[in-house]
A and B are shown apart, each in its own frame.
Chain A
Amino acid sequence: MTTVLPHLPALQVVIPLLGAVLCALLRRPAPAFGLALAVSWLMPVIAAALLWQVIQGGPISYHMGGWAPPWGIEYRVDLLNGFVLLLVAAVGAAIMPFAWHSVGFEIDEGRRAWFYCMYLLCLAGLLGIAITGDAFNAFVFLEISSLSSYVLIALGRDRRALLASFQYLVMGTIGATFYVIGVGFLYLLTGSLNMVDIAQRLGPAWAEHPRAIVAALAFVSAGVGLKLALFPLHVWLPNAYAHAPSWVTVFLSATATKVAIYLLIRFYFSIFGVAIAFDTLPIAQIVIALSIAAMVIASLIAVFESDVKRMLAYSSVAQIGYITLGIGLANQAGLTGGLVHVFNHAVMKAALFLAIGAVFYRAGTVNLAELSGIGRKMPVTLAVFTIAGFGLVGTPGTAGFISKWYLALGALDQGWWVLVLVIVGSSLIAMVYVGRVLEIAWLREPTPAIARASDPPLPMLLPILLLGAATIYFGIDTQWSAGIAEASAQALLGGLR
């Protein structure tokens, strides 16, 4: 054990990376799935061990290949990214059993091994972004995760998936380019790519080249904003989520945007710092304005979507608005709300997309009009959909309420009570789009088209139940969600305000 423990940060990324290569060599679906499952289930163990070390002994710094920072690549785990690592790893582990039937149904046999290969690559990339302490290394992992997710999306059942994937590829590449230009500026200004090192040198550099730093901040914001689907840079997301294979939508919605949000938080609070990003520059105003637009406009679009996956995708854009609102508020309660919503939204949206994935598996459609009475045919699945749906609305007793409570408190702390109205207003719109599905699913008579649908097999049903239960659990016991978010927020704002 003693020889393995110090290398856990490296293993967190290396194991899925090697797993991806092995998957490609295996070529057959069953062993590839087995390998992906084993890796997925190992990841949260490592992530939990890392988080435990951080809680016990403070941030971990791991020097890749023994090269000391700032020259070598440093993996750095503190409370914030320990939390994100565990979130990504745990969601991956929880939803993996669902993949066997779902992928078997939606993807040709010859491509399934490649599918699992791409998934592991994507997982490695996402975990890498979260764990690395090096701004350029983060770009590399960003590209790994993005390229693999283009492939995953393109594996969708009909040809529209190709267009969606291409659209995402173009937008994602622009985003990555912007990000790397921003990092380039920072390298020119500070001579370093290590995040801690950049943060330390940025103060003196601000005095000499403020405009260059503003440019760097702008490029990074736009680049990462594209990846996290910050309104109005979200246009790739609804198509990508709607046309990707069901399981891919679950995975990406719960993890990919969340990791990008982490990266943005890292840049704003740890690298540029509150003093530059929020006290000197109008980042807060811009981010809050865009968040409000996302919460209202994307929610309204969701109300009029007839495809449930697209509806949930627009809902994601709106919910990401809640998270960025927390970033923009940049106070203790607000940032806690944003961070805890990273977690809560991942759980709730994964539950919703899993449920709708199961509906597609049984009924062959996700078009709302064709789903009348589906609740009576798939009661367990739709019950979880209902619970998680009310989570989006933010009814008390669900995880969603906790996020909104903190966000609203953060808004009131700033004295912006109008923001409270926006938060509840967006909840009301969510009530309409969730209620619309519930009414059709539960109260209408089942149509002949879905006459033979029933709850999915156990490997699909268990992840659905698990995430449904988590939606309620994290609405009542928030020690591990809001507790860690609160401590992370405190560390991010630490002493600067």
Chain B
Amino acid sequence: MTAVQSADSLVPLAVLLPFVGALLIPLFRRRPNLREGVTLLTATALCLAVFGLLGPVLGGARPETQLVAVAPGLLLAFKVEPLGMLFALVASSLWIVNSIYSIGYMRANNEPRQTGFYVCFAVALGSTMGIAFAKNLFTLFLFYELLTLSTYPLVAHKRDAAAIRGGRIYLLLLLGSSLALFLPAILATWVLAGTLDFTPGGILAGKAGAPVIGMLLALYVFGIGKAALMPLHFWLPAAMVAPTPVSALLHAVAVVKAGVFCVLKIAVLIFGVETLSDLGQSAWLSAVAGVTVLGASIIALRQDNLKRRLAYSTVSQLSYIVLGVAILAPISIIGAAMHLVAHAVGKITLFFAAGSIYTASHLTEVSQLDGIGRRMPWTMGAFTIGALGMIGLPPTAGFLGKWFMLTGAIATAHWLAVAIIVFSTLLNAAYFLPIVYRAFFRESAAGEHGGEAPWPIVVALTLTGAATVAMFFLPGLPHALARLTIGM
């Protein structure tokens, strides 16, 4: 078997592995240690499989495989291109860290229904891999919906009235927007282009005029509710009722990144950057993204609940990526791809810290955090690094993405975008730095009691915190994949 063939067969393996894990986990429901062992083993195997694909992809190969033709034009097929590779790398490696964290969190908080929790998690990761490696819009859509359905029970995990309500908003908004807007957009694409395959340069060039392309783009960006563009962002704060590991991996990484990943991929590989800029579709998309960036930041300022503040920060940060796409300069798209990774690592750190605080001292509000940094130095140290990443300060990965986007915006004279990025950076600082200040420089009102959370939690957040810094100094891999995305 040649290297290319073995890479081809790795693709379906990578998508299937988490589903196999999901089937195995319930077998060990009476033996929690073995059960979590299965999760860790699956996550590690998945990560290895994804890394196995990295070499061929960097070498210029595009491993692909077709499973079944559902109907004319509807093919269940996978193809690994650089952007998907990047997304899969981030999601699969963070799954390992998040699993370690979950073990600490779920046990320390005595959460019920842990077997179902780990099963849904595995299915969600399998769906994420399906989205990352989808060769066409149909496959993408299939796994997109599966991701929504598999994360719904996780959002409603607590089963109390608030959780059920949060789950309802989550399901109705994500499933509803995808059925009402995303699906018609796919249909229209099929009718216009006669294909649904992701193709470098896009498939819609010359197929329709500016109004139709504009409508279609709108259907896509709003139909992909997971990208959380305003006004379809409500589901994300509502999803914060979930246990923190869910918020951390799914609602800071897998689900929301799947959303912006879809937007990025559709803009580059369905519309094509040139088609979009020729037809002048950048202005309104920048405006929507800009409103979301600023609007969500302003709302975040006013949130006292830590997880909700983080959620609004996510809404805002996601729209940076959409903004990076809307600028339509190659370098800004590289920036968008870089930011996708940087935000993932940084935001998961922040959520890990929030969960760590909750586990150790059951605090959920920002105003309760006076002096917590002295009791939980590791947690708040990692939180600080994550916060710096969100603001976009060196030496964190967050700086790189913003730098590239800013360069792209200046190069193409998108002064509005420049203004949005600069102003929102100030806002980011305004809602993150006070938390850091409180934690380290204010006297604790409750006195000195309690310490760090259980060790798996601390290990996990230290790892991701370190990764945020490491990526600043070693950005080679994401940068290389991001450059390949736009064909450089």
Chain B contacts of A475 at CB under 8 A?
70
Least CB distance, B138 to chain A, in whole angstroms: 7
Nearest A residue to B184 via CB reads: A420
**B334 in the interface, Cβ–Cβ < 8 Å?**
no
Determine whether the beta carbon of A402 is less than 8 Å from that of B71.
Answer: yes
Partner of B191, one of A396, A412, A439, A445: A412
Determine whether the beta carbon of A435 is less than 8 Å from that of B171.
Answer: yes
Determine whether the beta carbon of B183 is less than 8 Å from that of A442.
Answer: no
Least CB distance, B123 to chain A, in whole angstroms: 12
Question: Which residues between 120 and 157 of chain B lie within 8 Å of chain A, taking CB atoms?
Answer: 138, 141-142, 145-146, 149, 153, 156
Question: Which residues between 467 and 497 of chain A lie within 8 Å of chain B, taking CB atoms?
Answer: 475-478, 482
Determine whether the beta carbon of A424 is less than 8 Å from that of B68.
Answer: no
Partner of B180, one of A402, A424, A442, A445: A424
Determine whether the beta carbon of B68 is less than 8 Å from that of A405.
Answer: no
Question: Which residues between 373 and 421 of chain A lie within 8 Å of chain B, taking CB atoms?
Answer: 390, 393-397, 402, 405-406, 408-409, 412, 420-421
Chain A contacts of B163 at CB under 8 A?
443
Determine whether the beta carbon of B188 is less than 8 Å from that of A412.
Answer: yes
Chain A contacts of B180 at CB under 8 A?
424-425, 428
Determine whether the beta carbon of A396 is less than 8 Å from that of B142.
Answer: yes
Partner of A442, one of B145, B153, B179: B153
**A356 in the interface, Cβ–Cβ < 8 Å?**
no
**B414 in the interface, Cβ–Cβ < 8 Å?**
no
Least CB distance, A480 to chain B, in whole angstroms: 12
**B288 in the interface, Cβ–Cβ < 8 Å?**
no
Determine whether the beta carbon of A395 is less than 8 Å from that of B149.
Answer: yes
**A427 in the interface, Cβ–Cβ < 8 Å?**
yes
Determine whether the beta carbon of B74 is less than 8 Å from that of A405.
Answer: yes
Determine whether the beta carbon of A443 is less than 8 Å from that of B142.
Answer: no
Least CB distance, B105 to chain A, in whole angstroms: 21
Question: Which residues between 165 and 218 of chain B lie within 8 Å of chain A, taking CB atoms?
Answer: 167-168, 171-172, 175-176, 179-180, 183-184, 187-188, 190-191
Least CB distance, A179 to chain B, in whole angstroms: 35
**B31 in the interface, Cβ–Cβ < 8 Å?**
no
Partner of B183, one of A424, A431, A476: A424
- The digit string for B67-85, where 1 denotes a CB below 8 A from any CB of A, is 0101100101000000000
Chain A contacts of B362 at CB under 8 A?
none
Partner of B187, one of A420, A442, A477: A420
Nearest A residue to B139 via CB reads: A396
Q: How far is the CA of A402 from the CA of B70 in the complex (A)?
A: 8
Determine whether the beta carbon of A478 is less than 8 Å from that of B71.
Answer: yes
Least CB distance, A272 to chain B, in whole angstroms: 30
**B442 in the interface, Cβ–Cβ < 8 Å?**
no
**B159 in the interface, Cβ–Cβ < 8 Å?**
yes
Least CB distance, A3 to chain B, in whole angstroms: 41
Given A397-B145, A428-B176, A431-B175: A439 and B164 within 8 A (CB)? yes
Determine whether the beta carbon of B71 is less than 8 Å from that of A435.
Answer: no
Determine whether the beta carbon of B187 is less than 8 Å from that of A409.
Answer: yes
Q: How far is the CA of A408 from the CA of B188 in the complex (A)?
A: 10
Question: Which residues between 431 and 459 of chain A lie within 8 Å of chain B, taking CB atoms?
Answer: 431-432, 435, 439, 442-445
Chain B contacts of A394 at CB under 8 A?
179
Interface contacts (Cβ under 8 Å), in number, total 71
Chain B contacts of A390 at CB under 8 A?
149
Least CB distance, A267 to chain B, in whole angstroms: 28
Determine whether the beta carbon of B138 is less than 8 Å from that of A424.
Answer: no
Partner of A476, one of B68, B153, B172, B191: B68
Least CB distance, A199 to chain B, in whole angstroms: 30
Determine whether the beta carbon of B179 is less than 8 Å from that of A393.
Answer: yes
Determine whether the beta carbon of B159 is less than 8 Å from that of A397.
Answer: no
Q: How far is the CA of A424 from the CA of B171 in the complex (A)?
A: 16
Chain B contacts of A425 at CB under 8 A?
180
Least CB distance, B180 to chain A, in whole angstroms: 5
Determine whether the beta carbon of A439 is less than 8 Å from that of B187.
Answer: no
Number of interface residues of A (CB under 8 A): 31
Determine whether the beta carbon of A397 is less than 8 Å from that of B168.
Answer: no
Least CB distance, A396 to chain B, in whole angstroms: 4
Question: Which residues between 218 and 239 of chain B lie within 8 Å of chain A, taking CB atoms?
Answer: none
Least CB distance, A421 to chain B, in whole angstroms: 7
Number of interface residues of B (CB under 8 A): 30
Determine whether the beta carbon of A431 is less than 8 Å from that of B176.
Answer: yes
Partner of A439, one of B70, B74, B138, B168: B168
Nearest B residue to A436 via CB reads: B168
Determine whether the beta carbon of A405 is less than 8 Å from that of B71.
Answer: yes
Question: Which residues between 59 and 73 of chain B lie within 8 Å of chain A, taking CB atoms?
Answer: 68, 70-71
Partner of B184, one of A421, A439, A445, A476: A421
Determine whether the beta carbon of A476 is less than 8 Å from that of B167.
Answer: no
Q: How far is the CA of A120 from the CA of B212 in the complex (A)?
A: 56
Determine whether the beta carbon of A395 is less than 8 Å from that of B176.
Answer: no
Determine whether the beta carbon of B167 is less than 8 Å from that of A396.
Answer: no
Q: How far is the CA of A424 from the CA of B223 in the complex (A)?
A: 12
Give the residue among B74, B176, B187 with the most A Cβ atoms within 10 A.
B187
Determine whether the beta carbon of B70 is less than 8 Å from that of A478.
Answer: yes
Determine whether the beta carbon of B141 is less than 8 Å from that of A396.
Answer: yes
Nearest A residue to B187 via CB reads: A408
Give the residue among A408, A421, A443 with the most B Cβ atoms within 10 A.
A443
Nearest A residue to B145 via CB reads: A395
Give the residue among A395, A409, A420, A478 with the most B Cβ atoms within 10 A.
A395
Partner of B179, one of A406, A431, A444: A431
Least CB distance, A443 to chain B, in whole angstroms: 5
Partner of B142, one of A393, A397, A427: A397
Nearest A residue to B142 via CB reads: A396
Q: How far is the CA of A478 from the CA of B149 in the complex (A)?
A: 23
Chain A contacts of B146 at CB under 8 A?
397
Chain A contacts of B164 at CB under 8 A?
439, 443-444
Q: How far is the CA of A421 from the CA of B215 in the complex (A)?
A: 14
Nearest B residue to A442 via CB reads: B153
Determine whether the beta carbon of A435 is less than 8 Å from that of B184.
Answer: no
Nearest B residue to A421 via CB reads: B184
Q: How far is the CA of A239 from the CA of B106 in the complex (A)?
A: 48
Give the residue among B68, B179, B184 with the most A Cβ atoms within 10 A.
B179
Chain B contacts of A405 at CB under 8 A?
71, 74, 187
Determine whether the beta carbon of B145 is less than 8 Å from that of A396.
Answer: yes
Chain B contacts of A409 at CB under 8 A?
187, 190-191
Chain A contacts of B176 at CB under 8 A?
428, 431
Least CB distance, B154 to chain A, in whole angstroms: 12
Least CB distance, A35 to chain B, in whole angstroms: 40
Least CB distance, A146 to chain B, in whole angstroms: 36
Determine whether the beta carbon of B156 is less than 8 Å from that of A443.
Answer: yes
Q: How far is the CA of A443 from the CA of B159 in the complex (A)?
A: 6
Chain B contacts of A478 at CB under 8 A?
70-71
Q: How far is the CA of A435 from the CA of B174 in the complex (A)?
A: 13
Q: How far is the CA of A428 from the CA of B177 in the complex (A)?
A: 9
Question: Which residues between 269 and 318 of chain B lie within 8 Å of chain A, taking CB atoms?
Answer: none
Given A412-B191, A428-B180: A476 and B70 within 8 A (CB)? yes
Chain B contacts of A431 at CB under 8 A?
171-172, 175-176, 179
Least CB distance, B28 to chain A, in whole angstroms: 17
Q: How far is the CA of A132 from the CA of B74 in the complex (A)?
A: 36
Chain B contacts of A402 at CB under 8 A?
70-71
Q: How far is the CA of A409 from the CA of B153 in the complex (A)?
A: 33
Q: How far is the CA of A432 from the CA of B175 in the complex (A)?
A: 10
Q: How far is the CA of A412 from the CA of B184 in the complex (A)?
A: 10
Least CB distance, B246 to chain A, in whole angstroms: 15
Chain B contacts of A397 at CB under 8 A?
142, 145-146
Least CB distance, A114 to chain B, in whole angstroms: 44
Chain B contacts of A443 at CB under 8 A?
156, 159, 163-164, 167
A interface residue numbers (CB < 8 A to B): 390, 393-397, 402, 405-406, 408-409, 412, 420-421, 424-425, 427-428, 431-432, 435, 439, 442-445, 475-478, 482
If A397-B145, A431-B176 are given as contacts, then 4 extra A-B residue pairs at C-beta distance below 8 Å, sorted by A number, are A390-B149, A393-B179, A409-B191, A445-B159
A-B contact pairs, 7 of them (CB 8 A): A393-B175, A395-B179, A396-B141, A424-B180, A431-B172, A439-B164, A482-B71
Q: Which 3 residue pairs are nearest across A and B when measured between Cβ atoms?
A: A396-B142, A395-B145, A412-B191
